[in-house]
Amino acid sequence: MKERIAQRSNILPGISFVMMMVALYLVFIYVPTAQGMGIMVQKVFYFHVPLAWLSYLAFTIVLVCSGLYLWRREAKWDIIARSSAEVGVVFTALVLITGSIWAKSAWGYWWTWDARLTSTLVLWLIYVAYLMVRSFAVEEDRGARFAAVFGIAGFFSVPLSALAITLWRTQHPPPVIFEGGLAPEMLFAMLFCVVTFTALYIQLLTQRISLRQIETEIDQISQNLSYQGG
């Protein structure tokens, strides 16, 4: 597993970087600018939406790996869940920030306690709490178990945030991507950005997992040394 991760961590940054450059070209030069969403700032949408989707994916992986950890009690599932939660929290923070900047430009204010915005903020806070629970646990095994339960229970906020725009009346723009609301060039750029951010997510997740593996190795060697009285 370690070798595979090391190989991927050599290739993935390059792939992510090239894809990011292509995505920037598509967003800035290739796609036409849509009218009515704040002429220029609407281009933020090509990053805001993929980041939101990827954060939902990251938290879904937390759910799956937390379940697998409780079932199998293998440390690798806890490591993947924790790493995915961290990347998800970073992505959700970016979603909140870019959304807020777009709102200031389009609506005239930075924030409103609208269902979509509030549920996304709650989602972010839940996973920040998950990371705190996981970090501050004194006993490694107990912390992992508690975090796994938290990771499963906290997942309710993902569909709540994702479906907020269909369940309640919100100010947030309605979903247009799968309802034919985008020109073909825009749809292509959007899907390319989704693939690009997926590559970035995999790269960050891989890097975070390898960090956690080094931490585990350090803990084991420290324990060996303390047993030996070194």
Partner 1 sequence: MENAGYFFAAFALIWALLFGYVLILINRQKQLRHALDSLKARLEESEKGKETKRGARQADGAAI
* Site residues, partner 1 (CB under 8 A): 38-41, 43-44, 47, 51, 90, 93-94, 97-98, 101-102, 104-105, 200, 204, 207-208, 210-211, 214-215, 217-218, 221-222, 224-225, 228, 230
Q: Which two tokens stand for residue 193?
A: 């950005």
Closest distance to partner 1 from the beta carbon of 14 (Å): 13
Contact between 176 and 182 (Cβ < 8 Å): yes
Nearest CB to partner 1, comparing residues 20 and 133: 20
Nearer to partner 1, 95 or 148 (CB): 95
Cβ at position 122, least distance to partner 1 in Å: 21
Least Å distance, CB 71 to partner 1, is 29
State in angstroms the smallest separation of the CB of 127 from partner 1: 15
> Percentages helix, strand, coil for the chain, rounded to the nearest 5?
85, 0, 15
Structure tokens at 176: 């247009």
Q: Tokens representing 145?
A: 């178990």
Of 98 and 119, nearer to partner 1 (C-beta) is 98
Q: What is the DSSP string of 54-115?
A: HHHHHHHHHHHHHHHHHHH--HHHHHHHHHHHHHHHHHHHHHHHHHHHHHHHHTSSS----H
In this complex, which beta carbon is closest to partner 1, that of residue 38 or of residue 154?
38
Closest separation in Å from C-beta 135 to partner 1 = 13
The answer to whether the beta carbons of residues 131 and 147 sit under 8 Å apart is no
Contact in structure between 58 and 82 (CB atoms under 8 Å): no
Between 50 and 148, name the residue whose CB sits nearer to partner 1: 50
